[in-house]
Amino acid sequence: MRTATLLFLAFLTGCATPTGYVKSDPAWSPNYGYRDKPMGGNEFSVSFTGNRHTGAQRAAEIVLLRAARLTREQGGTHFVILKEKARAMEAVQLTTLPVVGAGFAAFVPVREQAALEPTAILLIQVVPGQKPVPPEAVDAQSVIDRLGARYR
Amino acid sequence: MHNSCGEKDRMWSVARIIRFIFALAAAALLASCATGAAPSRMVPNAMDAPRADAASPLYQRIVVTQVGGGEETNPLMVSKVGNRELADALRGALERFDYLAGPDRRADFALEAFLVDLKQPQGAYTLIVDSHIRYKLLSIKDRSVLLDDVITGSAKGTLNDALVGSTRLRMTTEASIRANIAEFLSRLPRLEISGK
């Protein structure tokens, strides 16, 4: 019974938390977190979608942090933002209620609820370390220093 | 002896029922297997965007040169949009709206498209699929960029569209791409391309 109560509390806590700096997982959480794709050359798309508890500023900061870390992973020091988009997208969530009985546990669908979920997209160009840095380029390390501690 | 036979018969019956249940489950699994989005269903309908004006420099002058960002569909997972399907849908759309350069028309403009993100919710009755595609339209002559933007398309699917979740998701995904391409097409008449 104690385990069931803990599971129930964990479920409730998990739902009310904003999405953090996590990579979206195709199996467990395909829609929330960050994703990036190579676009050819040194260009990459970086996107982030948060749940309904995630603010627009948080989404923008996480996508920026991901872009900075991706730049470092690619051996660059700076990146140029080619395009940026931020929107709150309508989403429908199915609210379920955990039902725990003798020897079984199940989530019963209760109702559907409309919500707004933030999406932030950056198209970036990584500036390779040995190349001259354009004036509009963003210093990846300074972004990591500023936001890295906030979103681990 | 007689009892033993009866027991055997009962066991055979149980085995048959179990086999039947397994066959039914396998059939249900196959029926709900994910299939990729179909290009023809991602082409916007004639009313979704304006056709190209015959006087426009873009009229039958665009060619699709590069498409990326798509994902192949794993039948055990969810329906995705592959690069080839997206490219075919774009060609179909450009052709339907009189933008595609035909074999007898010289192409002056190159279209590059990249599927940046496809948000496909699962586990709900009502699904909203969002697609974000980057479109880049360039002049072939001087590589100048006429349009470079990330366009968002959304579509909502309900139980009225399909009862099976995987079918509903595929249909909603196709509708989302259709809406996205329609939005791209509706921007073309507004482009300033005089002198190109």
Residue by residue, pLDDT tens for chain B (196 residues) are 455 566 777 767 777 776 766 666 555 555 556 788 899 999 999 999 999 999 999 999 999 999 999 988 877 778 889 999 999 999 999 999 999 998 888 899 999 999 999 999 877 789 999 999 999 999 999 999 999 999 999 999 998 899 888 899 999 999 999 999 999 999 999 998 765 4
Strands (E), chain B: 62-68, 109-119, 127-139, 145-157
The answer to whether B123 faces chain A, any CB pair under 8 Å, is yes
Question: Sign (positive/negative) of CA torsion A101, A106, A108, A113?
Answer: positive
Percent of chain A with pLDDT over 70: 90
Question: DSSP class of residue B36?
Answer: P
Judged by CB atoms closer than 8 Å, whether chains meet at B124 and A39 is answered as no
A121 close to B (CB below 8 A): yes
Q: Which residue of B has its CA nearest to A46?
A: B116
pLDDT score at A28? 76
Q: What residues in B contact A45, CB-CB < 8 Å?
A: 69, 114, 116-117, 134
- Residue B116 to chain A, least CA–CA distance (Å): 6
Q: Tell me, rounded to whole angstroms, the distance of Cα A57 from its chain centroid.
A: 12
Q: What is the pLDDT of residues A53-72, one digit of tens each?
A: 999 999 999 999 999 999 99
Question: Do A89 and B123 count as a contact with CB atoms less than 8 A apart?
Answer: no
Do A39 and B68 make contact, defined as CB atoms within 8 angstroms? yes
CATH of region B36-190, choose from 3.30.420.40, 3.40.50.10610, 3.40.50.300, 3.40.50.720: 3.40.50.10610
Listed by start position, the domains of chain B span: 1-31, 36-190
Residues in A touching B127 (Cβ below 8 Å):
92
pLDDT interval class at A140 (50, 70, 90):
very high
pLDDT reading at A122 higher than 70: yes
Lowest mean pLDDT among A114-118, A144-148, B101-105: B101-105
Locate tokens 């998701």: which residue? B169
What's the mean pLDDT in A71-95? 92
Q: Which of A51-60, A84-93, A106-115, B156-165 has the lowest mean pLDDT?
A: A106-115
Predicted local distance difference test score (pLDDT) of residue B3? 56
Give the model's pLDDT for residue B1. 46
- Return mean pLDDT, chain A: 87
Would you state the pLDDT for residue B124? 77
What is the pLDDT confidence band of residue A10, given thresholds at 50, 70 and 90? low
Given B124, B132, B134, which is nearest A94 (Cβ)?
Answer: B124
Average pLDDT score over residue span A138-152: 94
- The residue among A102, A123, A119 whose CA lies nearest residue B130 is A119
Cα–Cα distance, A24 to B117 (Å, whole number): 12
B31 vs A107 pLDDT, higher one: A107
- In this prediction, residue A93 carries a pLDDT of 81
Is any Cβ of chain B less than 8 angstroms from the Cβ of A41?
no
**Residue B68 to residue A40: CA distance in whole angstroms:** 9
Helices and strands (H, E) in chain A, number of each type: 3, 5
* Separation in Å, CA of A139 to nearest CA in chain B: 24
pLDDT of residue B102: 86
Residue pointed to by tokens 């490219």: B87
Percent of chain A residues past pLDDT 90, beyond the cut: 62
Count the residues in chain B: 196
Judged by CB atoms closer than 8 Å, whether chains meet at B128 and A87 is answered as no
Adjacent-strand bridge partners of A109: A96
